[in-house]
Amino acid sequence: MKVAVIGANGQLGSDLVAACKRREWDVVELTHADICVEDPNSVRKILSEVKPHAVLNTAASHIVPRCEQDPLQAFSVNGLGALNVARVADELGSVVVYYSTDYVFDGAKGSAYTEEDRPNPLNVYGVTKLAGEYFTLGYARKAIVARVSGIYGRVPCRAKGGNFVTTMIKAASEKPEVRVVDDEVLSPTPTWIIAQRSMELLENDARGLIHLVVRGSCSWYEFARVIFDTLGFTTPLRSCSVSDFPATVRRPTFSAMESIRLTTLAVEPLPDWREGLVKFLRNEYR
């Protein structure tokens, strides 16, 4: 199988590339230097040359405050970029996978969101990612939209300079104490598991909207607590509230998700969030 990974040097993209190589698939690694999803001519030129069986689109403008400041740029990448990729993939008969976010929800439900729940994003980032979902599903006949949450991986996010795990490790070594909010809930998911399940979705000819998240949910404080305990940090870790920090962007306080579709697609559910996190930490830091 020939697979093009857009954003191949990113946090998720790098694990998608590795997963393809483990299956000995022909993987074409595309970075922003190779393809600009905002430019339909760039997308058409590169993908027409590659002629992939599948296109995995991880390109995103995902710095949430920056999206709020520059909504046109956010929409050009997250929305129109997804449209450009979907159109060309459809012309080529390729499967396209668009990776979206838990931020398409407003958190009002108070329990884990499934694929059947209605989105209602609170900020520009969420709105533009939801647009990317609709463009992908509406313009590509062979489309998968995979929503993820709180991702962390072996390769830190390039745009953010890290992820929550690396941020906690740095804070534990540099600060006298670390404070983390306990009233925002998510489903933190390692990128290697997302990549593995993405391969299975392609192998099983999956289509449509799918939540690719670990089982269960936790607060950011609980997430941090497992990191500290697993890695043996002695720096005091304190819980606090989102109200303790000035809010520049509205965010959902409960964005945990679960999947009701994976079992119907003969794809193994993802592990519990704690199990996945401990395994990642032991593999990468011990």
CATH assignment of the domain containing 135: 3.40.50.720
Q: Does 232 map to a domain?
A: no
Q: Does 76 map to a domain?
A: yes
Q: Does 174 map to a domain?
A: no
Domain span including residue 26: 2-166+182-219+248-285
Q: What is the pLDDT of residue 243?
A: 85
Q: Does 242 map to a domain?
A: no
Q: What is the pLDDT of residue 158?
A: 61
Q: Does 176 map to a domain?
A: no
Sort 95 into a burial class: Cβ within 10 Å, 0-12 / 13-18 / 19+: buried
Q: Does 9 map to a domain?
A: yes
The one-character DSSP state at 105 is S
pLDDT tens over the chain, length 286 residues? 999 999 999 999 999 999 999 999 999 999 999 999 999 999 999 999 999 999 999 999 999 999 999 999 999 999 999 999 999 999 999 999 999 999 999 999 989 999 999 999 999 999 999 999 999 999 999 999 999 999 999 887 665 667 999 999 999 999 999 999 999 999 999 999 999 999 999 999 999 999 999 999 999 999 999 999 999 999 999 999 988 887 789 999 999 999 999 988 888 889 999 999 999 999 988 7
Name the domain count of the chain: 1
Q: Does 175 map to a domain?
A: no
Q: Does 237 map to a domain?
A: no
The strand ranges marked E within the chain are: 2-6, 26-30, 54-57, 95-101, 143-148, 178-181, 185-186, 208-211, 218-219, 237-240
Q: What is the pLDDT of residue 157?
A: 64
Q: What is the pLDDT of residue 242?
A: 87
- Give the Cα separation of 47 and 85 in Å (integer): 9
Count of Cβ atoms closer than 10 Å to residue 202 Cβ: 20
pTM above 0.85, yes or no: yes
- Give the Cα separation of 68 and 63 in Å (integer): 9
